[in-house]
Chains A and B, each alone.
Chain A
Amino acid sequence: MTRRFGSVLALRGVELLLRAGEVHALLGENGAGKSTLMHIAAGLIRPDTGSIDVHGRPTDLHSPRDARRAGIGMVHQHFTTVPALTVAENLALARGVAPAEWNRGAVLSHPLIQRLQHGLGPHRSVESLSVGEKQRLEILKALVGGQRILLLDEPTAVLAPAETEELIAWSKAFAAEGGSIVFITHKLDEARAAADRVTVLRDGSVHLSGPISDHSDQDLASAMIGVTEPDSDSVICSKSPSHRELLVAFKNLTFSDHRHTLPKPDDTDTAFHVGEGEIVGIAAVEGSGQRELLHAIAGLIAPAGGSGELEVTGPVALVPEDRTTEALILDHSLVENLVLASGADAPWIRSWGRISWDEARLATRRLLQEFDVRAPGPDTPARALSGGNQQKFVMGRALSRSPRVLVAENPTRGLDLHATAAIHARLRLAAAEGAAVIFHSADLDEVLELADRIWVVARGRVTEAPSGDREAIGQMMLGVPGTRGEP
C-alpha cells in the first residue's frame, strides 16, 4: 500500500494482516501513517498503489459506504455524531434508515452490543452524553450494520483510566466472538493490555509486526521512535521554596455563560495557590470545569456574579487548547500571528495604531531561531508548518512576553515524541526562570511526569491530589464515590 499527499509519501509499501478474532494494535507516532492506513481501509481515501482483500477477496473500496458493506466499521479520532440529534436518530443516520427503524433487525440484541448501549437511552440527545458515552455511541454506529471488523483510531485519547479499561475489556470480548479490531494508540501499556498482535508504523513504513508478547517495551518503543533517547535532564528550580512569591490564588469561584450554567470549579472554602517556579498540573476528564478555571486565570472570562476570590499577578500568557483554531489563524503568516497575540504596548505598534511590520518581522525571526521553529521565515503561513513547529511557535510566542504566569491547555496534544519533549523542556525552563506554570493535559501520564503538584478537577470541584498515585488520581477524576472528588 502506498499513498502520497502532494510531495509527502504518507505510506510506502505497507502491509497489514488482520485476522478474524484478534485485536491488532497499530502503534506509531503522530504522522507515522496510522490514520492514513485506516482511512484507506474505511474507504475514505484511495491508495495510489496496493490492494485490500476482505475475507480473502480483493475488494475495491470507493467510499465509506462500500467499506461498511464489506463489514468494516470505523471510529474516528474526533466524534462524528450529530450533537442536536438523539442516540436513536444518530444510529438511524449511520444505518441509512428512517429514524423510527433505528433498531430494526437483530444486531442490537447481541449481548456485546447491548453492553455498549448501557445507559444510552435511545431518546437522549447526544449533547447530554458524557465523553465516554459518546465514544460508545461511536462504536455502536460503526457496528449497527452488522460489521465485524472495527477500526478504532486512538479511542482512548479522550477517556479516563476506568473507561479505557472497560473499552479494552470489551474489545477482547468482541474479538473472542470472532470479530476483529484494529486498535490505534501510541501508548504501549494499552497496546499490551488490549492486543494479540501488533504492527508498528514509522514514517509510513512497517518497522515491526507480530505477536505482541514476542516483543519487549523497548523493542516497540525503538520501532516507534527510531533511536532510544536518554531522558533529558529536568531543570531544577534555583529558588528555595521559602522565597517564592505567590502569583495565583483563588477560592470559591463559580462560572456561567449565556447558554449554560457551567460547572463550579471550586465551591469549597479551600484556597488554592501557585507560586513562582512551580508547575501545577491539572488532571481532569473533558468538561469538568478545568477549562473555565484556566481561562479565568488567564483573564479571558470572569467569575460569575462577583463570586469567590481570584488574584493573579501578571503578565499572564496562555497556550490555548486548540492550536489550529484558538492559538493560530492558519491562513495568516507567522508575523501576523505574532502581532495577533500582542497587546497595544508591543514594540511594533506605533502612534495612531500603526504597525511596523519590519519590526514585527524581526521579532518573529528571533522567535523562530530561539525556539527552534522550523519555518522558512516570518511570512510563511502558519498552515505550512507541521503541528510540532506550530506548537513550538505558540509556546515561543507566549514565553517571549516574559509572563509571570503561564497557562497551558493540552500543550502537547497531537505532537510526536520529539516535539513533546521540546515543549516539556520549555515549560520546565519557564518555571526554572520563575514563572508559575499551570497546565492541563488529558493525558494523565503527562500530568504525572511534568507537574510538581497536581490538582484534580472533577464535576467542577478542585482538589489537591495528596500523592502522585496514578490509580488514586484516576478515581478522583471520575468522582468515584468514596474519593474526595465526589460532592
Chain B
Amino acid sequence: MNLRGALLIQTFLTLLLGFGVMALGISLAGHDAGLALGAMFRGAFGSWFALTSATLPRSVPLIILGFGFALAFRAGALNIGGEGQFLAGAIAATWVGLSAGSLPPVVAIPSLLGAASVAGMLWIVVPVWLRARFGVLEVISTLLLNFVAAALVSYVVQGPLQEPLGIYPQSDLIATSARLSLLPGTRLHGGFLMALALAGGGAWFFSRTIWGFRLRAVGDGPRAARITGRLNADRMSAVALLLSGAIAGLAGGIEIAGVTRALYQNLSPGYGFTAIAVALLARGHPIGILGSGLLFGALAAGAGAMQREAGVPAVAVHVVEAVVIVTVLLADRVTRSRRAEVSGA
C-alpha cells in the first residue's frame, strides 16, 4: 500500500479509537454519550462565533507549539518543555507589553514577539547545555523546567508584574498598541495567520531546503548523517532544540498579545502537553500539524460546551489525547519491528 495513504488511514483509525474510548467512558459514568458528543460538536463548530472565538483561538497555540515540538522531534530530540517555554515567553511578552504604551504597533508587536521568542529559547538553553556537556536526557531536563516556569509565573504575578493595586495575582492589561487583532467582533487574532505561515513555511523548510533535509537526516539516521552526510549531529540537534524553544516562547507571546492581554496563573490549560499529541498525530509534518492542531483546538472548545450542556466534566477530552499518544507510539513500534523482520529475512 502507498505509505501516505496507510498513514492517513492509521491516523483516522487512531482518532476513531480515541473518540470511541471517550464515548465509552462517558456512557460508563452514566452520562448520555450521544448528547455529550453533540454538545461538543456544537461548541466547536456549531456557529460562526464558536468557530472564530472558541475553536480557532485555541488552535493557534497548539499549532505553533506542535510545530516547535516537531522541529526538535524530527531532528531526533524531544522537547517536552514546550509548556515551560510558552510560559517564559508569556512573561517576557507581558513585561514588554506593559511598557510599550508609547510605541506604535509596528514596533511594539515585533518587540513583544521577539522578547517572547528569546525568553523561550533561554528557557531551553540549560537543557541543551546539559545534554551537550554531560549527556543529560533533554526529556527530563525540559520536563522539569516546566514546573519552574509555572512557579516563576506565580511569583511575577504576585511581585514584579502584579497589577498596580496589588489585589489580584495577575498583571495589568498590556498596552493597546501591543495587542494582536484580526476580525472585529470575534476573538480571532493575527496569531492565526502566523500559525498558518509557520505551518506552510515549515513544510517548505523540511521538504525543500537542505537545512530541513539535514535536520530530518539527523533525526532519522544519526550515524549515517554523521559519517555519510558529514554533519555534526549533536550541534544540529542543539540548534533544533533552541529553535523549538524559541517557537514555544513565541506561542506564549502570541497568547498574551492575542487572547489574554494579561498574565495570570494557569495561563495555559496544558497547551504545551496537548501540543505533543498534536505533533505526534501528524507524525511531525507541519501541514498535518495544522489539521491536528485545529482538531484539538475544537476538542478544547467543545469540552466547555459538553460540560455545560451534558454535565460531563471537560477533562474527559484528555482521554482522546492520551489514546492518540499511546496509539501513535504503539503503531510506530509495530511498524518498526515488522520492517526489521522483513529486512532480517
Asked if B221 and A339 sit within 8 Å, CB to CB, the answer is no
Residues on the B chain within 8 Å of A322, using CB: 223
B211 sits at the interface (CB 8 A):
yes
Cβ of B337 < 8 Å from any Cβ of A?
A: no
* Chain A nearest CB, measured from B115 CB (Å): 28
In chain B, positions 315-345 with a C-beta closer than 8 Å to chain A are: 339, 341-343, 345
Q: Contact check: which of A5, A341, A353 meets B209 at CB < 8 Å?
A: A353
Please give me the residue from chain B that is nearest to A31 by CB atom.
B345
Q: State in angstroms the CA–CA spacing of A299 and B228 once bound together.
A: 11
B209 touches A340 (CB 8 A): no
B345 interface neighbour in A5, A330, A331, Cβ under 8 Å:
A5
- From 303 to 328 in chain A, residues with beta carbon under 8 angstroms from any chain B beta carbon are 318, 320, 322, 324-328
For B223, list chain A residues within 8 Å (CB): 322, 325-326
Q: Which of A8, A10, A329 contacts B221 (CB 8 A)?
A: A329
B144 within 8 A of A: no
Contact B221 A5 (CB under 8 A): no
User: Interface centre among B221, B341, B342, by most A CB within 10 Å?
Assistant: B221
Within the complex, what minimum Cβ distance (angstroms) separates B59 from chain A?
30
Contacts of A6 in B (CB 8 A): 342, 345
Closest to B223 in A: A325
Q: How far is the CA of A342 from the CA of B230 in the complex (A)?
A: 9
Contact between A332 and B221, CB atoms less than 8 A apart: yes
Q: Is the CB of B228 within 8 A of A341?
A: yes
Instruction: Please report the C-alpha to C-alpha distance between residue A324 and residue B223 in the assembled complex, in whole angstroms.
Output: 10
Give A329-350 as 1s and 0s: 1 = Cβ < 8 Å from B's Cβ atoms: 1111000100111001000010
> B167 at the A/B interface (Cβ < 8 Å)?
no
Kindly state whether residue B224 has any CB partner on chain A within 8 Å.
yes
Query: B213 an interface residue at 8 Å Cβ cutoff?
Result: yes
Write the nearest CB–CB distance from A393 to chain B, whole angstroms.
12
Q: Looking at the complex, which one of A5, A299, A336 makes contact with B213 (CB distance below 8 Å)? A: A336
A355 contacts the other chain (CB 8 A) = yes
CB proximity of A286 to chain B, nearest CB, Å: 17
**Which residues from A are CB-within-8-Å of B343?**
324, 330, 383
Which of A299, A341, A352 is the one whose CB lies under 8 Å from B229? Answer: A341
- List A contacts of B217 (CB < 8 A): 329, 332, 336, 340
Cβ–Cβ < 8 Å partners of B208 in chain A:
354-355, 357
What DSSP secondary structure best describes chain A's contact surface? mixed
Q: Does B32 contact A (CB under 8 A)?
A: no
- Chain B residues with CB under 8 Å of A344's CB are 210
A residues 1-55 near B (Cβ < 8 Å) are 5-6, 8, 10, 36
- Taking a contact as CB atoms under 8 Å apart, the answer to whether A340 and B211 are in contact is no
Q: Taking the complex as formed, is B225 at the interface, i.e. its CB lies under 8 A from any CB of chain A?
A: yes
Indicate if the CB atoms of B209 and A352 lie closer than 8 Å. Answer: yes
Separation of A76 and B25 alpha carbons in the complex (Å):
48
Instruction: Give the CA-CA distance A344 to B209 in the complex, in Å.
Output: 11
Report A-chain residues with C-beta under 8 Å of the C-beta of B228. 318, 320, 326-328, 340-341
- Known: A340-B217, A341-B229, A352-B209. Is A329-B345 also a contact (CB below 8 A)? no
CA distance A339 to B210 in the complex (A): 9
B210:A10 contact, CB within 8 angstroms: no
Contacts of B221 in A (CB 8 A): 325, 328-332
B220 at the interface (CB under 8 A from A): yes
| A98 CB within 8 Å of chain B | no
Chain B residues whose C-beta falls within 8 Å of the C-beta of A331 in the assembled complex: 220-221
User: Which of A36, A299, A325, A383 is B224 in contact with, Cβ under 8 Å?
Assistant: A325
- Whether A300 lies near B210 (C-beta < 8 A) is no
Within 8 A of A (CB), among B184-232: 208-211, 213, 216-217, 220-221, 223-225, 227-230
Given contacts A6-B342, A330-B343, A383-B339, contact A355 B210 (CB under 8 A): yes
Chain A residues with CB under 8 Å of B210's CB are: 339, 344, 349, 353-355
Subset of 29 A-B contacts with CB under 8 Å: A5-B342, A5-B345, A8-B345, A10-B345, A299-B230, A300-B230, A318-B228, A320-B227, A320-B228, A325-B223, A326-B224, A327-B227, A328-B221, A329-B217, A329-B220, A329-B224, A330-B343, A331-B221, A332-B216, A332-B217, A336-B217, A339-B213, A340-B213, A341-B229, A349-B210, A353-B209, A353-B211, A354-B210, A355-B209
List the 9 closest pairs (A to B, CB-CB), nearest first. Answer: A329-B221, A5-B345, A353-B210, A326-B227, A325-B223, A340-B229, A353-B209, A329-B224, A320-B227
A10-B345, A328-B228 are known; give 7 further A-B pairs, CB within 8 A: A326-B224, A329-B217, A329-B221, A332-B221, A352-B209, A354-B209, A355-B208
Which A residues are closer than 8 A to B by beta carbons? 5-6, 8, 10, 36, 299-300, 318, 320, 322, 324-332, 336, 339-341, 344, 349, 352-355, 357, 383
